[in-house]
Structure 1
Amino acid sequence: MARSKHPELTRRTLLDAARRVLRDKGATLSLDAVACEAGISKGGLLHHYPTKDHLLVALAHALIDQFHDRLKAAHAEEIATHGNAPGAWLRAYVHLNFTPQEGGEALTAALAPLAAVPEVLHGFREAQAFLVKEAEADGLPPGRAHAIRLACDGLWTSRTSGLPDLTESQRAALEEELLSWTRL
């Protein structure tokens, strides 16, 4: 592939390729496999992401941004359907966390080791600070808002870390309980 005059498009192509490689092969991702999947030379990949860690950090941030976009859309849909009553943002958050995205768990598990790197973890915290702010701004008592958000985060963590998971009926009961907490 010739050098692109649109580096943002090339970076997006590389991140999409990395996502597919991680989904299909797990943590065994190699830069060669990503470059091949993207149809870009390894040198072209290295121009944009000089190391595997740079690529994985960029992918993790892209996934955070993608989740944020999905959350904004779910929140807008919640408001359109039920109005902007307190708890609308948290209801959208609950719904998203209880609706697994294809390949999402494999990607998260493959990226999890990056969280052990202090500077990467700091960047992830900053990138996800919107979760705390938006939960608190949703109009529910702050303690309840954080309990709902953290319960969703715990569910997500248990699915991706190998901790015991809930059955479908247990998951449905938890979702309904959390949604009930979003109503004053």
Structure 2
Amino acid sequence: MAKRQPPELTRTTLLQAATRVIRTHGATLSLDAVAREAGISKGGLLHHYPTKDHLLTALAHALVDQFRDELRAAHASEIATHGDTPGAWLRAYIHVSFTPAQDTELLSTALAPIATLPDLLPDLQAAQAFLITDAQADGLPPGRAHAIRLACDGLWTGHHLGLPDLTNEQRAALKEELLSWTRP
């Protein structure tokens, strides 16, 4: 008899498979393709994620967790290099925002339809509430802290919405300007 793996491991396997399917096929994610890629029956997938929306929501949460982990690492590096000074968290936020991970862009585009599902949005917003609280707690004037975070978010969102993008030189100038707002 084959030994079953823990449910958390199965869910991780399914999310990794969904990521590979999106990477290969773009936003046209099907549950059949994810189950095949994971080597799990479709019924097994549906046991963990009863609908495509549930799977996409779990992927969105995984992206938030990945971003938060990257941000924590960048923040720790910032503190190790420059000390725990006001603006350290925001400097880390700027660095991570201006150097997105490879899968983040692709997955974010594929997950954009979640924004149109009002029942799923509050939970995802709650998972990202740390962005506001951590920015405000970083020791800079609140208005400046939120302006920095929102500028980073606007750059990212505009890119994903197909708005005109900045050149590399313009991005570098924006990044340096935002970083200057975090220094005493």
TM-score normalised by structure 1 residue count: 0.96
Task: Identify the residue that residue 69 of structure 2 maps to in structure 1.
Answer: 69
Report the counterpart of residue 155 of structure 1 in structure 2.
155
Aligned to 1:110: 110
- Kindly tell me: are residues 43 and 165 of structure 1, through their superposed partners in 2, closer, same or farther at Cα, counting changes over 3 Å? same
Give secondary structure in 1 for the equivalent of 2:119: helix
Q: How do residues 115-154 of structure 1 correspond to structure 2 at under 5 angstroms?
A: 115-154=115-154
Tell me the alpha carbon deviations over residues 49-100 of structure 1, each in whole angstroms, 9 at most, x when there is no partner.
1111110001101110111111111101100011000000000000000002
Q: How many residues align?
A: 183
Residue 7 of structure 2 is matched in structure 1 by: 7
RMSD over aligned Cα atoms: 1.1
Give the letter for the 2:138 counterpart.
Answer: D
Paired position in structure 1 for 2:37: 37
Query: Normalising by structure 2, what TM-score?
Result: 0.96
Change (3 A) 1:56 1:3: farther
Deviation at 1:103, TM superposition (A): 2.4
2:63–2:104 CA contact under 8 A, matched in 1: no
Counterpart-to-counterpart distance in 2, 1:74 and 1:66: 12
- Kindly state the Cα deviation for residue 150 of structure 1 after the two structures are TM-superposed: 0.1
Distance 2:43 2:66 in 1: 27
Equivalent residue for 1:78?
A: 78
Tell me, what secondary structure is at the counterpart of 1:27? coil
- Assess if the C-alpha contact under 8 Å between 2:136 and 2:145 holds in 1: yes
Q: How far 1:8 moved relative to its partner? A: 0.2
Residue 87 of structure 1 contacts residue 183 of structure 1 at CA under 8 Å; is this kept in 2? yes
How far is the alpha carbon of 1:183 from its aligned partner? 0.6
1:25 & 1:10 partners in 2: Cα distance? 22
Offset from partner CA, 1:131-175 (integer Å, 9 cap, x none):
000000000000000000000000110111111111111101100
Cα distance in 2 for residues equivalent to 1:177 and 1:43: 52
2:170 is matched with which residue?
170
- Contact map agreement 1:106 1:160 (CA 8 A) in 2: no
Gaps of 5+ in 1: none
- Alpha-carbon distance between aligned partners in 1 of 2:44 and 2:173, rounded to the nearest angstrom: 49
Deviation at 1:3, TM superposition (A): 6.6
Q: Deviations over 1:108-134 (max 9, x none)?
A: 111011111112111111010000000
> Which ranges of 4 or more aligned residues in structure 1 deviate by more than 3 Å?
none
